[in-house]
Amino acid sequence: MTSISDYSEQLIPLTRDELVAKLKIALDSNRFHHVLRVEQTAIDLAKANGVDLEKASIAGLCHDYAKQRSDADFLAAIDRYGLAPDLKNWANPIWHGVVGAELVKHELGVWDEDILNAIRHHTTGDATMSLLEQVVYMADYIEPGRDFPGVEQARQLTHKLLALGVAYQTKRTLEYLLDHGSPIYPATILTYNAWVPKYEGEING
């Protein structure tokens, strides 16, 4: 297991300890420990897939930075940062990634677009995802604190081939949303079309 004790690539104007301290203030204890586990899982997946480890650490730690912000904070940020007004029709599950990335940029000083995209797309995925985006999408889903039917298969597929994990998560999440009558965010459908049919034969069983 590789761990990162500090940063040297100037991707964030904070030490790792300073970033962790900010997250401890922004998040409740369960969520704080979740982001630490996502960071470690992302670092491990990054190492296996030739992805920059500092980017994996920062994106893993920051992916849920905005999770506990108020709806009013998100609505104000959508205006302040000129995001699509349609976003106002959604809610925290969508906002904390898409709008949260802007808060990470402006409040934590992360300007690397690959890291910001990994945060933006960590909940819904996207039709096109860099390896870092795939790593964070999967780390959030399979971190060791996750316990749901299918998580072991998700872990096995992800370790076999990152894209298989992406396809599996995308299919299972859409099934879950449909079962519960939840509104489907458009990017979720685009992610499904781009990843699931392509790998359908390899993610079952």
Under the binding rule (CB under 6 A), the answer on residue 16 touching ligand GDP is no
From Fe ion, ligand GDP, none, interface partner of 109 (C-beta below 5 to 8 A by class): none
Select the binding partner of residue 83 from Fe ion, ligand GDP, none (C-beta < 5 to 8 A, by kind). none
Q: Is 140 in the site for Fe ion (CB under 5 A)?
A: yes
The answer to whether residue 182 forms part of the interface with ligand GDP (CB under 6 A) is: yes
Indicate the residue among 126 and 140 with the shorter CB distance to Fe ion. 140
- Our measurement of the distance from residue 139's CA atom to the centroid of its chain's CA atoms, rounded to an integer in Å, reads 8
Query: Do 103 and 77 contact (CB within 8 A), yes or no?
Result: yes
The verdict on 173 binding ligand GDP (CB under 6 A) reads yes
Which part of the chain contacts ligand GDP (CB under 6 A), choosing from 17-25, 46-54, 119-127, 159-167?
Answer: 119-127
For tokens 């994990």, the residue is: 165
**Residue selected from 184, 193, 197, 198 as contacting ligand GDP according to rule CB under 6 A:** 184
Of the ranges 14-22, 102-110, 150-158, 179-187, which one interacts with ligand GDP (CB under 6 A)?
179-187
Least distance in angstroms from the C-beta of 9 to ligand GDP: 25
Binding-site member from 4, 36, 53, 177 for ligand GDP (CB under 6 A): 177
Give the C-alpha separation, 93 to 70, whole Å.
Answer: 12
Site residues for ligand GDP per CB under 6 A: 64, 67, 93, 97, 122-124, 140, 173, 177, 182-185, 188
